[in-house]
Amino acid sequence: MSEEQVGPLAGKVALVTGGSRGLGREMVLAFADAGADVVIASRKIDNCRDVAALVEAKGRHALPVGFHVGHWDEVDGLVEQAYGAFGHVDVLVNNAGMSPLYPELTAVTEELWDKVFAVNLKGPFRLTALVGTRMAAGAGGSIINVSTTGSLRPAPDMLPYDAAKSGLNTLTEGFAKAFGPSVRVNCIMAGPFLTDIAENSWGPAVREHGLPRHALGRAGEPPEIVGAALYFATDASSFTTGAILRVDGGIP
């Protein structure tokens, strides 16, 4: 076996939504290091191409795809492009999300509500239904949803997002039953991570003062998501499905 084929994901193809930045970018690069070819899907194609270049520099193949996860027809198109390029998808990560803030609950418009649910719940449902069905009819695979601790500890200024992610927790268990035994479906319930988005909002304050109520007293660094992602993506989790793993520094 050549050097570029060595790794727990050698010969596999991973599809990561929201894969051009933040936690998604970290997972894309980790999967490539583990031997996988990667489909990098996000709204901004130029950012996807930048990450694809990093994947290819590691000796893996990459397919950058610009798409909007909240648009049903674009989800269908993404699946066709992925299977057209590689013939199979072995790991799917539903990572793309959005959580716009609002000044008060009465300021939540129907448009905002629908957009948040489309990105965080509708799109992952459609993508999982399409890819999971193909996985189950083929060699199987692993599907990883990325949720939030807000689904357990909802915040008044993030209720649509937290409610949608709670629905994603539910989909995790339901799809695990629907596509087993050959397809495993699990969820990473992420706590506060210092992604680029966080660095432009609450990140500086947290870096200075920490999160004293959390067991670890701090927010996570993006690379700290990788261990959980690789666990679910590889055979290390061969007897794990329908599970929700908290990666949150010990939420209070």
DSSP summary character for residue 96: -
Determine the pLDDT at residue 72: 96
Amino acid code (one letter) for 166: S
DSSP run (H or E) holding 84: helix 72-86
Rounded to two decimals, the pTM is 0.95
Determine the pLDDT at residue 6: 81
Residue 111, number of CB atoms within 10 A of its CB: 8
Residue 246, number of CB atoms within 10 A of its CB: 16
Determine the pLDDT at residue 5: 66
Determine the pLDDT at residue 202: 80
> Which residue among the candidates 83, 102, 161, 231 is catalytic per the annotation?
161
Determine the pLDDT at residue 130: 98
Residues of the chain with pLDDT under 50: 1-4
Residue 161: active-site member: yes
DSSP 219-231: PBPGGGGHHHHHH
Determine the Cα–Cα distance for residues 39 and 41; give it in Å rounded to an integer. 6
Determine the pLDDT at residue 2: 42
3-state helix, strand, coil in the chain (%, to 5): 50, 15, 35
Give the class (CATH, top level) of 3-247.
alpha beta
Residue 94, number of CB atoms within 10 A of its CB: 28
